[in-house]
Every structure is written in structure tokens, then in C-alpha cells.
A and B are shown apart, each in its own frame.
Chain A
Amino acid sequence: MKALLMFEDRDFQTDTALLEALERPYARREAPVDEPPVGQGEMIQDFELETLWKAMALDDPVVYVSARTAMLAGLGSVEQIRYRQAVLTDALAQPDVVREIYGLAVQAIIGEREIFRSSFALTHSSSALLSTSITRLEAFVPILQRLRALTDEHADRFTSKGFTQFFDALRHELDEDYFNEISEHLGYLRLRDGVLMSARLGSGGQGIGYVLRAPSPDNRRFRFRRIMLNRPTHSYTVPPRDYAGGQALGRLRDRGVNLAANALGQSTDHILSFFTALRTELGFYVGSLNLHDQLTAKREPECLPDPHPLGTTVWSAKALFDPCLSLRLPDRVQGNDLRADGTPLLVITGANQGGKSTFLRSLGLAQLMMQSGMAAPAESFAATVTTGVFTHYKREEDATMTSGKFDEELARMSTLVTAIDPGALLLCNESFAATNEREASEIADDFIHAMNDIDVKIVFVTHLYTLAHHYHRQHADTTVFLRAERGSDGQRPFRLTPAAPLPTSYGEDLYRRTFTETDTTHTDTPASQ
């Protein structure tokens, strides 16, 4: 019985170590063994993904991990995206039912943990283990029953394939007979008729291969049978004062009890794993609901994006905005339109603080959100799926002090390139700007050409006029040019318009304005002329 709400055909695997670290931040643990994929850390930083995930999670670490995992491991096919979009549509229509099921999973797991915590310290004896297992199982039963009741009440209002199949499975697997079967097991496992095991002889004549046995093949009636063994039988009774014999008998019995506890422990683990999986998968949708609530409260637009398969070059958006920026501001933020179908290259030029970085982020986020099955922050968004999203931003400092800034930039780019596959999207923010314009332009030109030839889409934010101008003259048919505009009053609207690159930037006036308005230094550097 699987949730299968994230994928039609497989489980949704999240990083359990990360969840553990979030839930118990002070516990001592090993450093993570797996290196994150190349460029992932930079992308999270460049897109301010943490802001988005925190908004989705609302302090629920499970939701955080599910949202994070889903966005970082984007879906590759249109069908997979559509599958999640359908489930999301159901969730948006029935948020209360979805949140209650999620709550049941959380309750099952937390209750489980309480039992474990309260029993763990006491003893490791098999009897205690068995009794804990029985308590664990007993705690799950009412939750399973409530899940079944919810199914009966609400299932017919869900239409997505994911939810329909999930509810069908619940209806089929959790019937009345099944709950009876569970209660019968709970009865026999108290072992009031003694512990019956089969065994063979080990090399020294000791018992090996112990198997817990029930006396009759007809397991529905065995509780009423008195005879556990057929004749002939031979018995030994431990004398009342034989301490060692009593100990040995206790250990022999323990072995059987242990087998029962193991079987039951494994069973309760199965149930727990079911609830854990359910919680993980629903966590993603709960996160989407949370984000939806926050953005719609601000009247920001939201849409189900329109994914197109690899090989197409669809790329358009209406009122595309940066949700991270919006979440931090009291008002709505400025959206931008994009019409770049059929073009593999987007060159963005223009004024500093003119919204270039914000636009770059909104484009990247929309792509990641679409490929995770989420709604997109736009009135409409359509794009070809990518094989990966990568960022290359200018860095202020060389943290390692081992190489020059330009070396560092090139080294970073070269590791990215090894990880980039055809069909990827690369977002460059003032790449190669750490050297003189001519050199940078030539390197960038070569680089962009190479990327185009291996089918990598590029968005290139640049001050390199030589480069931008060259593309405008030579490759206008395959390039879209956007420019961050200066408002007529010198105030900067965060809006980009399709426009040819201009030979100057606006750093100078920014600088002047900053220095006349406030008397402190400003970090923004004047643009190269």
C-alpha cells in the first residue's frame, strides 16, 4: 500500500539525514557523506530558495524537506509534471481533507515516538520489547480506522489519478476483516498458552533455526485449542529452587518471545513506514497550500504552468514575479513578461538595480517550481522542461584566497560545465566580468556559442556592451534582448522591456544619487564605460 502522490510509479525519497538534522539540531551526528550536486549550493543561494522553502514549511521540517527535495530533483517529463499538477489541483480544492490526512500521519509518527521514548530506557528484555510492540500496534489501529472513515466521507470529491488510486487502496486494504485479523494477532501474541517453537540441532546439539509456531494450520481458531504438541512428548520441570535452571528456562522462553516481538516490530515498522511515506509525500502539497495561502492573500497571481517536452523551445511568461521578493515585501511586486519561444539565448542589459537579478531569479524559480509540479508565480508560464538549472553569479570575494577573482570565476564555471547536460538552463549574472571587457567578451562569446551548440539555454545578464552589441548585430534572430529601464524621473521601476543593449549603464547616476542622498559609501561600483 503506497501513497504514490508524487510519482505514479514510485516512492518519493527525501533526505532523511536532513530531516533528522532539522528535527534534532543539537544531536551529535556524522557530517553528511554525500557531496551535493555541482552548483546546487550556489543555486540555492542565488535564487534565495531558503526564503521560499521556509514560507512553504511554516516551521514544519517535514514540509521543508519535501519541498526542498521536490524542487532540487525536478521532474524530467511532462507527464510526471501533469500528474503532480492534478494532485495539487485536488489539494487546492480540498485543502482541509488533505491537511487532516497529513495530520493523521504526523499523529501516528509522533505517538509512535512517544511510546518508544517512554519504553526505551527501561529495559531491553524481550517481554518488554513485545509489550512495547503491542502498544505501538494498538496506537496505530484508531488512526488507520480514522483514515478509512475519511476515505468513506470524502474520496468521491477527488478526481486526480494520484488521490483516486490512493483512496481506492485504502478502501480495499483496510476493510473490516482486516481490522479483525489485527485484533486476533494482538490476542495470541500475549502468549498465554506458552511459547511454541520448532528447532533443529546445531553442531554441538544446541537448538538452532528457532521458528515461532502456532499449533494449528487453522489460524483463526487456534486460540481455543488446548493441545499445543502431539504425542509422544517428553518434559522437564525446573525444580523450584534451581536458580540456574530457571534462568535457562527464562532465556529459552525469551527466544520465542523475541521472535514474536521481532515479527510484531517488523509489522509496526511497516505501518510506520507507510505513515512516514504518506507524510513525506503530502508534505509537498501542504507546502504548496501554505505558499498558495500566503501569495493569494497578497493577491499575487498564480498559475499551473504549461510544461513542454525536451526538444521544443517554448519560453514565455506573463506577469512573472519573484515570489521570494514578494514574500519579503508588504506590497505586490512588479511582474515581467517574456516572449522567447524559439530562442535559446536571453541577453539582459541595463541599469543597476533595474530588476535584472530579480528577473533572473523569477525565471529560475518558475522553472524549478514548474518542474517540481508546483504552481508558478505568474499569470501564465510556459516552458520546455530542462535537464537541470544552473547559476553562475559574479562573486564579490574570493573566499579561499588561493587564486585571483578571475581564476576563481573560471574554475567555478569549469566545474559547472562538467555537470551540465544538453537541455539544461544556465543563468549567468555578470559572468566573466572580473577581467577587462575585451577579454571577457571574447571568452563569453566562445562560451555562449559552445553552450548553444550543446543545447544549453542561457540567460546572460551582462554589462559587457561589446558582447551584447555583437550578439545584437549577429544573432538577433536567436536571441531575445531585455533591458532594465530607467524611469523618466530617475526612479527605477523593477521592469524589463525588450530592447537593444545600450552602450552605457546607470551605475554613475546611482553612485551620484547615493552619495548625495546619504553621506556614506555605497557598495555598488560604477559600471565600466
Chain B
Amino acid sequence: MHAQSILFRGRVPAGIEECPQPGFFVDLNLDQVVASVTGKDEYTLTPFFYSPLGDVDAVHYRQEVFQDLERPEVREPVSAFESQTLTANFSYRTKEMSREHHGSGHYHRALWFLNAVEKYCQAVTALADGLAQVGVRSRGLRGLGHYLQDYLASAAFTGMQAESLRLKEAIDAVNYCVLVKGDRVTVGHYDDQVDYSEQVTGTFERFQQGAGSDYRDTRPDWQEEDFAELAVLDLVAKLYPELFAALDAFCQQYADYLDATVALVDREFQFYLSFLDYIRPLRGAGLRVSYPRVSVESKDEQVLDTFDLALAAQLIGRGGQVVCNDITLTGPERVLVISGPNNGGKTTLARAVGQLHHFARLGCPVPGRDVRLFLCDQIFTHFEKEEDITTLAGKLQDELNRLHADLALATPASLIVLNEVFNSTTVADAEYLSAKILQRVSELDALGVCVTFLDELSTLNQKMVSMVSQVDPRDPAIRTHKVIRIMADGRAYAHAIADKYGLTYERITAGRRAGRGTS
């Protein structure tokens, strides 16, 4: 029987750990997003973010788990479980015990092992109880719940738990005295000797005014190493020989206490929880993140109030304002042609579209609301890179080579994101090449995004949708970063920006005339 997964229906696909980072990750800033989501990535979650799901039901399987985990009553027991870092504890403790030889520090390690088992039993029990109580709805968590119920009822588990509790109780009851005199430390039973600190303070209490300062010992916790150095625990063990023999037996019997499914879901929960943690501040700032309806048939797409995840996370961290945009594709429409002033949010929107499609394929919630997305099979991106002028010709060739290769691989189910690909060539070249490439994308019937300064591309054919980044009508120099569906008109903003910097015809000539008048 294989371990129960909550990321995949059935068995975890082989080879998934070796999945490399897809080519479009850097262009879409997905590397930043995934790095923020996974953080230090103790659980090696990154490969999961590299591997898209192929069919609608697999996406639903994860969406269900996500939606379960968004319910606070489900999230609570799961968070409590994952915060115990059971897998890491297990590997640490077993490694420590395997290196072990009876000798200095032996009983310290044994006690830590006992604690780890106790914590493990508590965490697994609490998770199983939690899942059963709240009534999970997803197939993934329901399956896990059933598995855990069986596991908790097994003799192996109940025996281990009972023995660990018995030992722990006995250890907690140990009470001893230690005498330090000269170079000698002596341990004996505690026989109700009086608390001398209390006696001293009692004598002087009569002088106390008001609350008085707190004189409790604020030094850091006792260092185990010192304790081991002096073999104090060994001396205490001699006072309680049976108890410590039982502890030794326990450690041997349960050396391999971690269950395979528990280990697996401990990691898989991280995929869900880290992503939910990532989007929480975004939602807190009023942004919408929701579950897309995905389809492999209809290319009618809609996303309202969407945004670039990487940028939004940055902006909200700094207390900035995130601008949201709407996208729709209906009927024959396949390609978003985005034009308008620079720094107006064009590239950001292009990235956002790419991110939407990738996270939809991972079964994750995506930025925006009322989301309907096509489940694409591949994503290709072509972003203009800063380049040295001397290699310009070579670069254009490379770019075309890459485009050619990608278009050969692309299918009607692919998404192609082109960001100012031919900007560094002449306008005539850019116009010609862009039109050609877009024509090919249209013929393929693939989905596309094309960021360009060439207005005329937006009317190339009926598959094109024109979107233009907007400026503030009261001060055209202010970009709103809003990109809306509108006919492209490249000149509307130019005059306004020139005016702001005193570069319009009227203002330049007015200055001259005045100059002539005074001279």
C-alpha cells in the first residue's frame, strides 16, 4: 500500500522531484513568487510549483483541499500539526540515537527521543480528531482522515503512546537534591529541606514597599552540556534505576516511529499552507484571490480585478496601492495586444496573465475574482532583454530562432506571452515581424499576450483585443497603471506629458518670443 497523498489523486508521480525550473519562470517573475511562498523551503516544495497538472479533475482535487484549508476550523488543526515539524524531528532524533553509544549524555538523548515520540503521538491524534470533528469536504483530506483513524487504532500506535506517557509521568515526578562543595557534586533524594531563598526574603519582607522589583532568576536556561559534563543525570539515574532501564528499552523498541503517510502529508500540507500564507496579506489589503473555473475546451476567459502577484506582494509590504485590471476574451478573441505609455502597467499586466494561467494549472487560487481560465498545456514567454548594441543583429536572430522553436512546440492549447520583443529593431522591422508572429499565433489558435508600442497590431485581425494603459485625465504625467479594453490611440498622452515638462510647441515658442522681446 502506497502512502496517501493530498496533492495528487493516487500515487505521487515518479520523477517529480527532479522537475527543472520552466523557462518562463524568470520572465513572469514566478521565481520571485515561488521563492516568497516557499521561504527557506525546508520541505523542498519548489518542484511542486514547477509541475503543472494536466487535467481538470486533478486541478479540482487540489482546489478542494485549498478550499477546505481556507476554513478556519480546518486550518487550525492542520496548522497545529505542521508546526510540530514531525519529519524533521524524527530524522534528527533517529540520527542522534543511531550514532549513540552508551556513555556521556546517553540519557539526555534518550529523554529527547521520548519527548519526540510523545509529541508525535499528540500531533497525529490531534490532527485526526480535528479532521474528523470539522467534517472536511475535499477528497484529499477525507482520504487522509480515514487513513489516520485506522492508524490510530492500530496496536503499534496505541502501545507506543501508552508506554511513552507512563515514562513521561515517572520522569516528571523525579525530585532530587544536588550539593556542590569543592570539586565534588553529590546527588541524593529530596527530603523536604526548607526553601532557603524564601527564608531569607521572609526575614526582610517587612521592609517591602509596594510591589517591589522582580528578582527571579532571569539567567538563560540551564545548559544541558554542563549537566552532561558532570554526569548529574547519570547520578540521578542511579537513584531511579528501574525507570531509566525502561527508558532504554523504549528507545530501542520504537526507533522507527514515523509513519510513511504522516511523513508525506507533513510535507504536502506545506504546499497549501505556504501558498495560503502568501496570499493572506494580499487579501488583507483588499485584493481578491479566488479559485478559477478551468476548462480544456472553452477559450472564453474572464478575470476581474487581477494583478501581478510579485508586484502586489512588494507594494503591500511597503504600504503601497495595487492597481487591478480586468481581462476578458470572448468568441474568436485570443490575443491581448497591450499598448500605451511606458511605465503604464503594460508589462505588469502581461506577467499577470502568465501567472494566472500557471497558478491555475497548479490548482492554486489566482489573483482576481469571477475567474474563468483555459487550462493551457504550455507557456512560452519572450521578454526583451537589455542588450549590448554590438550584438544587436545576433540577438534578433537568436530571438527569432527561439520564437521559431517555441512556435513549433506550441499547440492550440498553449499561451504565448510576447513583451516588446522587437523593440530594439527599426519600426518597419518591428511592425513586420510582430505582425508575422501574431499571424502565426492566430493561425495556431493559441492564446497570446503582446505588449507593444505599435498601435496597428491591435487591429491585425479579429483575434486581437486592444488594451491600453491609462493616464490620469487631470495630470497626464501620472500613470494610473490601469489597463483597459479600448481602441489604441498612441498620441493622446504624448502632448500632456510634454506639457508637463515644458516641451510642447506652445511653451517652447512662448519662451523664445519672450526672450526676443527683452533682448
**Chain A residues within CB distance 8 Å of chain B:** 1-2, 11, 173, 181-182, 185, 188-189, 193-208, 210-217, 219, 228-238, 240, 244-249, 251-253, 255-256, 258-260, 262-271, 273-274, 276-277
A212, A231, A265: the one contacting B196 at CB < 8 Å is A212
Q: How far is the CA of A269 from the CA of B187 in the complex (A)?
A: 33
Q: How far is the CA of A410 from the CA of B423 in the complex (A)?
A: 67
State how many angstroms separate the Cβ of A275 from the closest Cβ of chain B: 8
What residues of chain B lie closer than 8 Å to A208, measured between beta carbons? 221-222
CB under 8 Å from chain A, chain B span 164-218: 171-172, 174-201, 203-210, 212-213, 215-217
Q: How far is the CA of A273 from the CA of B238 in the complex (A)?
A: 47
* Residue B111 lies at the interface, judged by CB distance under 8 Å to chain A: yes
What residues of chain A lie closer than 8 Å to B273, measured between beta carbons? none
What residues of chain B lie closer than 8 Å to A267, measured between beta carbons? 200-201, 203-204, 207
Given A216-B193, A247-B226, A270-B209, output 11 extra A-B contacts at Cβ < 8 Å.
A173-B206, A201-B111, A205-B107, A207-B178, A213-B194, A232-B188, A232-B189, A255-B219, A266-B201, A273-B212, A274-B209
Q: Is the CB of A230 within 8 A of B189?
A: yes
What residues of chain B lie closer than 8 Å to A173, measured between beta carbons? 206
* Shortest 9 CB-CB contacts between residues of A and residues of B: A194-B181, A267-B204, A248-B229, A248-B226, A263-B197, A213-B193, A229-B188, A266-B215, A274-B207
A201, A210, A217: the one contacting B194 at CB < 8 Å is A217
What residues of chain B lie closer than 8 Å to A249, measured between beta carbons? 180, 183, 185, 230
A-B contact pairs, 26 of them (CB 8 A): A2-B209, A194-B179, A196-B177, A198-B193, A200-B175, A204-B111, A207-B222, A212-B196, A212-B197, A213-B177, A213-B195, A213-B196, A235-B235, A236-B230, A236-B232, A238-B185, A260-B197, A262-B217, A263-B197, A263-B200, A263-B201, A265-B215, A269-B213, A269-B215, A271-B207, A273-B210
* Residue B112 lies at the interface, judged by CB distance under 8 Å to chain A: yes
What residues of chain B lie closer than 8 Å to A185, measured between beta carbons? 199-200, 203
With CB as the reference atom, state the residue of chain A lying closest to B203: A181
Q: Is the CB of B108 within 8 A of A270?
A: no
With CB as the reference atom, state the residue of chain B lying closest to A208: B222
Q: Is the CB of B188 within 8 A of A211?
A: no
What residues of chain A lie closer than 8 Å to B222, measured between beta carbons? 202, 206-208, 210, 255
State how many angstroms separate the Cβ of B295 from the closest Cβ of chain A: 54
What residues of chain A lie closer than 8 Å to B229, measured between beta carbons? 244-245, 247-248
Asked, given contacts A194-B180, A204-B224, whether A235 binds B185 with beta carbons under 8 Å apart, the answer is yes
With CB as the reference atom, state the residue of chain B lying closest to A257: B180
Q: Is the CB of A230 within 8 A of B188?
A: yes
Q: How far is the CA of A252 from the CA of B227 in the complex (A)?
A: 8
What residues of chain A lie closer than 8 Å to B192, measured between beta carbons? 217
**Chain B residues within CB distance 8 Å of chain A:** 107-108, 110-112, 115, 171-172, 174-201, 203-210, 212-213, 215-217, 219, 221-227, 229-236, 238-239
What residues of chain A lie closer than 8 Å to B195, measured between beta carbons? 211-213
With CB as the reference atom, state the residue of chain B lying closest to A275: B207
Q: How far is the CA of A11 from the CA of B194 in the complex (A)?
A: 33
Q: Is the CB of B185 within 8 A of A206?
A: no
With CB as the reference atom, state the residue of chain B lying closest to A280: B209
Q: Is the CB of B174 within 8 A of A201?
A: yes
What residues of chain B lie closer than 8 Å to A233, measured between beta carbons? 186-188
What residues of chain A lie closer than 8 Å to B213, measured between beta carbons? 266, 269
Asked, given contacts A205-B233, A207-B232, A252-B185, whether A214 binds B199 with beta carbons under 8 Å apart, the answer is yes
Q: Is the CB of B176 within 8 A of A196?
A: no
Q: Is the CB of A195 within 8 A of B180?
A: yes
State how many angstroms separate the Cβ of B223 from the closest Cβ of chain A: 7
What residues of chain B lie closer than 8 Å to A265, measured between beta carbons? 215
What residues of chain A lie closer than 8 Å to B196, measured between beta carbons? 188, 212-214, 260, 263
Q: Is the CB of B212 within 8 A of A270?
A: yes
What residues of chain A lie closer than 8 Å to B227, measured between beta carbons? 205-207, 248, 252
Q: Is the CB of B183 within 8 A of A237?
A: yes
Q: Is the CB of B178 within 8 A of A199?
A: yes
B179, B207, B223: the one contacting A229 at CB < 8 Å is B179
With CB as the reference atom, state the residue of chain A lying closest to B194: A214
State how many angstroms separate the Cβ of A274 from the closest Cβ of chain B: 4
Q: Is the CB of A197 within 8 A of B194?
A: no
With CB as the reference atom, state the residue of chain B lying closest to A277: B209
State how many angstroms separate the Cβ of B222 from the closest Cβ of chain A: 5
Q: How far is the CA of A333 from the CA of B112 in the complex (A)?
A: 84
State how many angstroms separate the Cβ of B6 from the closest Cβ of chain A: 31
With CB as the reference atom, state the residue of chain B lying closest to A252: B180
Asked, given contacts A258-B217, A263-B197, whether A234 binds B239 with beta carbons under 8 Å apart, the answer is yes
Q: How far is the CA of A248 from the CA of B222 in the complex (A)?
A: 11
State how many angstroms separate the Cβ of B193 from the closest Cβ of chain A: 4
Q: How far is the CA of A213 from the CA of B193 in the complex (A)?
A: 6
Q: Is the CB of B184 within 8 A of A256?
A: no
Q: How far is the CA of A181 from the CA of B200 in the complex (A)?
A: 10
Q: How far is the CA of A266 from the CA of B205 in the complex (A)?
A: 9
State how many angstroms separate the Cβ of A294 from the closest Cβ of chain B: 31
With CB as the reference atom, state the residue of chain B lying closest to A237: B184
Residue among B115, B183, B219 with the highest chain A CB neighbour number at 10 A:
B183
Q: How far is the CA of A276 from the CA of B213 in the complex (A)?
A: 14
What residues of chain A lie closer than 8 Å to B210, measured between beta carbons? 11, 273
State how many angstroms separate the Cβ of A338 from the closest Cβ of chain B: 41
Q: Is the CB of B178 within 8 A of A269?
A: no
Q: Is the CB of B209 within 8 A of A256?
A: no
Q: How far is the CA of A268 from the CA of B227 in the complex (A)?
A: 32
Q: Is the CB of B108 within 8 A of A1?
A: no
State how many angstroms separate the Cβ of A381 from the closest Cβ of chain B: 34
Asked, given contacts A195-B181, A198-B175, whether A270 binds B230 with beta carbons under 8 Å apart, the answer is no
What residues of chain B lie closer than 8 Å to A216, measured between beta carbons? 193-194
What residues of chain B lie closer than 8 Å to A271, measured between beta carbons? 204, 207
What residues of chain B lie closer than 8 Å to A198, measured between beta carbons? 175-178, 190, 193
With CB as the reference atom, state the residue of chain A lying closest to B208: A270
Q: How far is the CA of A195 from the CA of B190 in the complex (A)?
A: 14
Q: Is the CB of A195 within 8 A of B209?
A: no
What residues of chain A lie closer than 8 Å to B108, measured between beta carbons? 204-206
Q: How far is the CA of A220 from the CA of B131 in the complex (A)?
A: 61
With CB as the reference atom, state the residue of chain A lying closest to B193: A213
Asked, given contacts A185-B203, A263-B200, whether A246 binds B183 with beta carbons under 8 Å apart, the answer is yes
With CB as the reference atom, state the residue of chain A lying closest to B177: A198
With CB as the reference atom, state the residue of chain B lying closest to A261: B215
With CB as the reference atom, state the residue of chain A lying closest to B183: A238
Residue among A185, A194, A217, A233 with the highest chain B CB neighbour number at 10 A:
A233
State how many angstroms separate the Cβ of A282 from the closest Cβ of chain B: 14
Q: How far is the CA of A234 from the CA of B195 in the complex (A)?
A: 22
What residues of chain B lie closer than 8 Å to A236, measured between beta carbons? 184-186, 230-232, 234-235
What residues of chain A lie closer than 8 Å to B238, measured between beta carbons? 234
Q: Is the CB of B212 within 8 A of A262?
A: no
Q: How far is the CA of A236 from the CA of B200 in the complex (A)?
A: 30
Q: How far is the CA of A173 from the CA of B208 in the complex (A)?
A: 13
Q: How far is the CA of A228 from the CA of B213 in the complex (A)?
A: 32
Residue among B176, B209, B217 with the highest chain A CB neighbour number at 10 A:
B209
State how many angstroms separate the Cβ of B93 from the closest Cβ of chain A: 12
State how many angstroms separate the Cβ of A206 from the closest Cβ of chain B: 4
What residues of chain B lie closer than 8 Å to A247, measured between beta carbons? 226, 229
What residues of chain B lie closer than 8 Å to A262, measured between beta carbons? 197, 215-217
Q: Is the CB of A203 within 8 A of B111?
A: yes
State how many angstroms separate the Cβ of A122 from the closest Cβ of chain B: 19
Q: How far is the CA of A173 from the CA of B232 in the complex (A)?
A: 43
Asked, given contacts A213-B193, A235-B186, A266-B201, whether A252 binds B178 with beta carbons under 8 Å apart, the answer is yes
What residues of chain A lie closer than 8 Å to B199, measured between beta carbons? 185, 214, 219
Q: Is the CB of A1 within 8 A of B201?
A: no
B112, B181, B184, B201: the one contacting A204 at CB < 8 Å is B112
Q: Is the CB of A193 within 8 A of B181?
A: yes
State how many angstroms separate the Cβ of B184 from the closest Cβ of chain A: 5
With CB as the reference atom, state the residue of chain B lying closest to A266: B215
With CB as the reference atom, state the residue of chain A lying closest to B189: A230
Asked, given contacts A211-B195, A249-B185, whether A1 binds B206 with beta carbons under 8 Å apart, the answer is yes
Q: Is the CB of A214 within 8 A of B172?
A: no
